[in-house]
Structure 1
Amino acid sequence: MSHTWDPDRYLAYADERGRPFVDLLARVPAENPRVVVDLGCGPGNLTALLADRWRSAAVTGVDSSPEMIEAARAVVGIRWEVGDLRDWARPDPLALREPIDVIVSNATLQWVPDHLELLPGLIERLQPGGWLAFQVPGNFDEPSHTARTDLAARAPYAEHVRDAGVPTSRDPVDYARVLLDLGCEVDAWETTYLHVLTGADPVFDWVSGTGARPTLQALPDDLRPLFEDEFKALLRQAYPADSAGRVVLPFRRIFVVARKPQGVPVP
């Protein structure tokens, strides 16, 4: 089932969502790359950091959401493209496509089922010695996700949301093994951020802009408010506010930086 993204809602927590991107980028020691691609660039605010860091590079931002790309076009000096990141991982038997020096993908691969299978194709797109860096959420066992899953499985919601997209990821060791088998140097790690949120239902506001959005959009207009009310109640119970109205949202994220072998064919 298709869904659309809302750049404004996504950017409501721009600082919190941006920190993992900055932490990921800090571990990519590429020098003077010519071609840099951001797969799943969203509204482009973080892609701009790539252009700032590597000023001589040709930077391209790619996202499957026309709404996100339309918002990104406000950032000048970067090529923006509506596209599916899976196309970037497809074989190029005639070697017609330009090799890439750095591929970055921030909080995107979790939306692609079986995305482990994409890693060999993405490594193939790189120049020898090029870099692949990505970050995915690793918090799918947390109430922010399980409450939605449990609620969506109940009547009268289940029949409407069974085909809604649900994000998923693997553990760092799974990504590391695939990339090590491809001959890459690999740096993989995880971090749990503690986001301090405020507002009436801040965790709902957070997830409704990302992981819960496909489920919410799949519901008919007459059921969505009821689902949202029940979902908010579950989240308030799982993430209670303190006396000052602050809610702490733990958020585990998984990071991988891999370097393609230099001058050695990738199997």
Structure 2
Amino acid sequence: MLDWNPALYSRYEDERTRPARDLLARVPLAQAARVFDLGCGPGNSTELLVQRFPAASVVGTDNSEPMLASARQRLPQARFELGDIATWAPEAAPDLIYANAALQWVPDHETLIPRLFALLAPGGVLAIQMPDNRQEPTHRLMREVAAEAPWAQAIGNPDRLRTELLGIDGYYDLLAGEAAAVDAWRTAYQHPMASAAAIVEWISGTGLKPFVDPLPSELKTSYLAEYGRRIARAYPARTDGRLLLAFPRMFIVAQKKA
């Protein structure tokens, strides 16, 4: 997959930051010394952590150098490191491991989630938010188009391009046996969008990338055109002329025993 585009990602920053703020609001820590933001992107979520824990050492990690460059410019007081969540390990046990809209790109959650939880200091918190929208029209249609000619050969199996989530009960079971408490919930945000093109633009910054990145320019153009036509049919205009984009997200906040 080609690298992430911070400018495109940040074009819908308010919508992307709202669940990050909602996740942090449920973190049951009055203070923290060591905080890590896994998959920090351009630093919008890291900024929330710096504001919440001003005395903490806050470190953002990401696998994209352009995202990290944007984050460093935004938050020079924080530390940002290149890293892979699948193999990431801190030098000292964190009080908070925070991952907003990142772990859906990392495989093998049955191993990953318990491993991250085990890295915490006593009383520490693992806080996760992940898009849970594989069955929404935005994501069903990208797979549907990807399975058709002339795009299918270049894209390959569309079902392998993002980790399938376990469900709230699955994540609860992974954590509850070792945790002092597990708080898990699902929210479907409703985002009024100006047009079908605006929906495609938003999704192009994240979910569509693995589908369009392998395509040569002419196939990328035709794929996005066909996807846009189907999005327009799936999201009719509401009474104010805007399109209502449902965006379900899953949240898990687990605290380690002290």
1:20 matched residue in structure 2? 19
Shift of 1:23: 0.5
Structural mapping, 1:1-267, within 5 Å: 2-74=1-73, 75-88=75-88, 97-162=91-156, 165-199=161-195, 201-242=197-238, 244-262=240-258
Give 3-state SS (helix, strand or coil) of 1:17's partner: helix
Distance of 1:117 and 1:168 partners within structure 2: 14
Shift of 1:31: 1.9
Distance of 2:134 and 2:199 partners within structure 1: 14
Distance of 1:139 and 1:19 partners within structure 2: 16
Distance of 2:115 and 2:239 partners within structure 1: 50
Q: For each residue in 1:201-240, what CA deviation from the matched residue of structure 2 results, as whole angstroms up to 9, or x when unmatched?
A: 1211111111011211111112111111100000000012
Contact persistence 1:62–1:83 (CA under 8 A): yes
Contact persistence 1:104–1:133 (CA under 8 A): yes
Give aligned pairs, total.
255
- Structure 1 residues not aligned, in runs of 5+: 90-95, 263-267
Distance of 1:161 and 1:184 partners within structure 2: 43
Shift of 1:167: 4.5
Shift of 1:152: 0.3
Shift of 1:243: 5.2
Question: Percent identity at matched positions?
Answer: 42
Give 3-state SS (helix, strand or coil) of 1:46's partner: helix
Distance of 1:115 and 1:242 partners within structure 2: 38
Distance of 2:11 and 2:239 partners within structure 1: 23
Distance of 2:53 and 2:45 partners within structure 1: 13
- Structure 2 residues not aligned, in runs of 5+: none
Question: Residue type of the partner of 2:150?
Answer: P
Question: Residue type of the partner of 2:238?
Answer: D
Contact persistence 2:196–2:235 (CA under 8 A): no
Distance of 1:185 and 1:133 partners within structure 2: 12
Distance of 2:157 and 2:7 partners within structure 1: 25
Distance of 2:179 and 2:47 partners within structure 1: 31
Per the normalisation by structure 2, the TM-score is 0.94
Question: Residue type of the partner of 1:12?
Answer: R
